Chain A
Amino acid sequence: MMGMSSLEESYAALKKGLADYYRARKDVLFVVGNKVYTGPELAKEIENETDVGKLMIKIALKGTVHDMAMGWRSWAYTTQ
């Protein structure tokens, strides 16, 4: 992550954590818009930042912001 701003690093970490999280969830089926995705399929969408991937990242960011606003530690998708 050389040369990245802290915001970019946070985004990259969230994106990687989110993709890893969904890749590990082989048993789930999510409907996003007009299509159904398995966990690993969503992981690919997130890594490739397709429209669906961007939406999933946006949703995860919203959840993270919600946790911070509530004073909860946001641990969900961090990979450290």
Chain B
Amino acid sequence: MGLYDTVIFSPVFDFETRVGNNSLHAVVVPYIKAPWVLTMLEKDSATRSNLESALTSKNPSIVWLDSHGNEVCLAETETTCAVDLTSDLSRLFSGRIVYIHACLCGKKLAPAMVSAGAKAVLAYTDTVVSEIDPSTMRLTRPFEETLLHPKRLYDHVSVGQVYDETIQIFNVWIDCLRAWDPSVRDALLHDRDCFKLFGDPSAVVQSPSQLVASAERAIATVTVTTLLVQTFLIATLRAVLRRK
């Protein structure tokens, strides 16, 4: 439980949430590999109580929320909220990195999560516009590559780096589609401009090897410090003995 646990919350209650769930299964779920342990809350299991229970019992480092939303609420169903400003945000999100793939949650909910102790939250401050491929019932490629790019959080890179990479991918698609599909280009431009990072850009979940390297550096620092202190003490002792 803990460092390499992650929870994905993806309710399916209408056509759009079905598409979002399909894209998650095609792009994000296969991307999550060991040491990560994924708890997938989707369809009937994607309830407010199950989410709260998973967050408190699994203590995940990364939380991925995928649904409809508004300024103060991430939807559980068409009429209820899975997370809102009345939630115990401190208990649920403190110390975690969160991605909210939903409309408008960047307005109030994401800043409230950071105020409640979340390390960092990536979210959208306006209505998200995207395109569906009717043949696959998934988001089209430009939107899967941009809106789902925060999957890179699972590569142990910082939230700031993931944010910068996402903006770069938006820019590449915006340039590519300028002459080909202005409606998709404009939607991407809009989504890019309302994609925001809240909290600490340096927040990261270190990989096991990064943790070992950090520990080795810490031990080396302690060892050098100990040697210096010992040398100083011996020199002081000698000086005292010589005086006597």
With known contacts A36-B15, A59-B129, A62-B189, A29–B134 Cβ distance under 8 A: yes
**Once the chains bind, are A30 and B178 in contact (CB under 8 Å)?**
no
CA distance A51 to B15 in the complex (A): 20
CA distance A60 to B187 in the complex (A): 8
9 interchain residue pairs of minimum CB distance: A76-B182, A63-B186, A29-B132, A59-B190, A33-B127, A59-B186, A34-B68, A31-B130, A31-B16
B165 at the interface (CB under 8 A from A): no
In the complex, number of A-B residue pairs with CB atoms less than 8 Å apart: 66
Nearest residue, chain B, Cβ from A72: B178
**Using a CB–CB distance below 8 Å, which chain B residues touch chain A?**
14-16, 19, 68, 103, 127-132, 134, 174, 178, 182-183, 185-187, 189-190, 193
Q: Which parts of A38-64 form the interface with B (CB within 8 Å)? A: 55-56, 58-60, 62-63
- Within 8 Å by CB of B186, from A29, A31, A35, A62, lies A62
Kindly list chain A residues whose C-beta atoms are within 8 Å of the C-beta of B187.
30, 59
**Once the chains bind, are B132 and A67 in contact (CB under 8 Å)?**
no
Given A63-B189, A72-B178, 8 new contacts (CB under 8 A): A21-B182, A22-B183, A28-B131, A30-B131, A36-B132, A59-B186, A62-B186, A67-B178
Provide a sorted-by-A list of 6 A–B residue pairs whose CB atoms are within 8 angstroms: A33-B103, A35-B16, A59-B129, A60-B183, A76-B182, A76-B186
Kindly list chain A residues whose C-beta atoms are within 8 Å of the C-beta of B185.
63, 76
**Once the chains bind, are B129 and A31 in contact (CB under 8 Å)?**
yes
CA distance A30 to B129 in the complex (A): 7
CA distance A77 to B14 in the complex (A): 31
Highest count of chain A CB atoms <10 Å: which of B130, B183, B189: B183
Kindly list chain B residues whose C-beta atoms are within 8 Å of the C-beta of A58.
190
CA distance A21 to B103 in the complex (A): 25
With known contacts A31-B132, A36-B16, A55–B127 Cβ distance under 8 A: yes
A12 at the interface (CB under 8 A from B): no
Kindly list chain B residues whose C-beta atoms are within 8 Å of the C-beta of A72.
178
B79 CB, min distance to chain A CBs, angstroms: 12
Kindly list chain A residues whose C-beta atoms are within 8 Å of the C-beta of B127.
32-33, 55
A3-33: CB near B (< 8 Å → 1, else 0) gives: 0000000000000000001100101111111
**Once the chains bind, are A60 and B132 in contact (CB under 8 Å)?**
no
CA distance A3 to B192 in the complex (A): 37
**Once the chains bind, are B182 and A66 in contact (CB under 8 Å)?**
no
Highest count of chain B CB atoms <10 Å: which of A21, A31, A34: A31
B88 CB, min distance to chain A CBs, angstroms: 26
**Once the chains bind, are A32 and B129 in contact (CB under 8 Å)?**
yes
CA distance A72 to B134 in the complex (A): 32
Nearest residue, chain A, Cβ from B185: A63
Kindly list chain B residues whose C-beta atoms are within 8 Å of the C-beta of A25.
183
CA distance A72 to B183 in the complex (A): 16
- Within 8 Å by CB of A63, from B14, B15, B19, B182, lies B182
